[in-house]
């Protein structure tokens, strides 16, 4: 957890650590798709687009936020993942929807 660690109950630290792991995991998954496929491949393109939308300032900018700010940011990220605008990208990475339990 980033700033203000003492301001929250102890279980907040555990939850924050878990959220950090999952956000990092999502970013790592997207990066692995870009490393595994050529830029012309739909999986690469979908991963690149999702990374741009979900992590415009990088993943560290999210995991270093205070607990409340990180929660709000991740909530927004999850709403984006459920949006119709990202459906085509998620369709190109079908296991991601399953992992995130979006559908």
Cβ atoms of 96 and 103 within 8 Å: the answer is no
Q: pTM value?
A: 0.85
- The pLDDT profile of the chain, 103 residues, written as one tens digit per residue, is 444 555 778 888 888 899 999 999 999 999 999 999 999 999 999 999 999 999 999 999 999 998 889 999 999 999 999 899 999 999 999 998 777 775 4
Write the Ramachandran bin of 58: left for phi over 0, alpha for psi from -120 to 50, otherwise beta. left
Structure tokens at 64: 């270093």
Domain layout of the chain by residue ranges: 8-100
Q: What's the distance, Cα to Cα, between the start and end of the chain in Å? A: 30
């Amino acid at each position: 957890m980033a700033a203000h660690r003492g301001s929250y109950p102890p279980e907040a630290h555990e939850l924050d650590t878990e959220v950090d792991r999952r956000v990092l995991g999502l970013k790592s998954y997207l990066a692995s798709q870009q490393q595994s496929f050529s830029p012309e491949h739909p999986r690469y393109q979908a991963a690149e687009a999702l990374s741009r939308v979900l992590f415009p300032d990088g993943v560290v900018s999210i995991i270093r936020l205070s607990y409340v700010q990180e929660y709000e940011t991740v909530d927004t990220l999850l709403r984006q993942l459920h949006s119709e605008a990202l459906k085509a990208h998620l369709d190109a990475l079908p296991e991601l929807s399953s992992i995130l339990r979006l559908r």
